[in-house]
Chains A and B, each alone.
Chain A
């Protein structure tokens, strides 16, 4: 089956720093999404990004589908950015999503 890898597994930042999280996948996919899981366990969709670049405030994401990777950029990090970031790839059409292992981000005040 498809393999989804994320790096780094853990990241500690000082508030205000920038960071880049990476997601690699082993096969062609129809869809890729980035999620943030807050400390209370709620998963929030950040981006739906099968290809190209999108921006939402301090966050942006780029997917290069032909090279099978996606990047999530966090600029001017805040303590509320802490949590676990997951990428998920869609197999088939809306019927199965495979998640990466996540990157745990801690932003220190």
Chain B
């Protein structure tokens, strides 16, 4: 089974701190994603990456950046954390099996719950 591992389950940071959230997948997936989940707002896409060193903005990229230096690792960076970034952050990956194959099953990590004080 694909395993997606997020480095921290719970984090508490202070306003203005730089925060790194790490995500590693072990099945050679091309695509990786960062979502945040908030009550009443569902899951919203922050960034995704379809290849090493490639990144695409999602719906809410402001205040975030990402890094993908290796295929298996996708990092989310909060340059200067703010209280409105308190949330559950979910990393996911999927295998690109080609146009028309349509078998791009999305697999999630366990989530990182970030609190910014």
Contacts and interface: CB of A to CB of B under 8 A. Distances in A.
A95 B56 contact: yes
Interface residues of B, number: 30
Q: Interface residues of A: mostly helix, strand, loop or mixed?
A: strand
Contact of B50 (A31, A44, A94, A102): A94
Contacts of A96: 45, 48, 56, 58
A79 to B, nearest CB: 21
Given A93-B99, A94-B96, A42 B42 contact: no
Interface in A38-97: 40-45, 48, 50, 86, 88, 90, 93-97
Nearest to B45: A96
A97 B106 contact: yes
Interface of B: 30-31, 33, 35, 42-43, 45, 48, 50, 56, 58, 88, 90, 92, 94-99, 102-108, 110-111, 113
